[in-house]
Structure 1
Amino acid sequence: MMPNYKPNPDDRSDNVEKLQSIVQNTLENIEEAEETLRYADEEERERIQAKNARREESIQSLREEIRDEATDRESGFRNNDEK
């Protein structure tokens, strides 16, 4: 007999805050990486700059997701278990 598993409800109530925290952490990582540039050789400098460019792209995507989540929150989204 198969156990009866119930999926966890989709709790989106704090998504905006979680995403904002991720953006803040990523910005801090960019700043820390920028500080290490002065000590890096050319190869390491290129790696750091490439990684920071990817981080900037991620931040843009996260900010779009924050806007979407905020809009959904304002329009009164419902959790899947409330449907």
Structure 2
Amino acid sequence: MSDTSYKSHPDDRSDNVEKLQDIIENSLKNIDESEAAMAFSTEEDQKIIKQKNENRQASIEAMRNEIKEEEAARKNGFTE
């Protein structure tokens, strides 16, 4: 094998904030849609939906914290 087949890609953080914001928006949309679906779900499915939404909320909080870190890194001159 040649050495070029396993080259790593440079870390590109330039659009991380935007990507995270898109993921958050999609997660919030999924929460809304799943809550609407609960009206037509069995009790067991409702429990599953509630657990998934709790997990989504936790992920959203983590992503919001990551956005804050990324924005701080941008302000401090991180360019890569």
Give the TM-score normalised by the residue count of structure 1.
Answer: 0.88
Q: What residue identity is the alignment partner of 1:49?
A: K
What pairs with 1:51-66 in structure 2 (closer than 5 Å)?
Answer: 51-66=52-67
8 Å contact kept, 2:31–2:53: yes
1:30-83 Cα shifts (integer Å, max 9, x gaps): 00000001111110110000100000000000000000001001111132xxxx
- Distance, in Å, in 1 between the alignment partners of 2:7 and 2:47 is 48
Q: What residue identity is the alignment partner of 1:35?
A: A
Identity %: 47
Instruction: Please state whether the residue corresponding to 1:7 is helix, strand or coil.
Output: coil
Tell me by how many angstroms 1:2 deviates.
3.1
Give the helix-richer structure, 1 or 2.
Answer: 2
Runs of 5+ consecutive residues of structure 1 not aligned to the other structure: none
Give the TM-score normalised by the residue count of structure 2.
Answer: 0.91
Task: Provide the aligned length of Structure 1 versus Structure 2.
Answer: 79
Point out 4+ residue stretches in structure 1 off by more than 6 angstroms: none
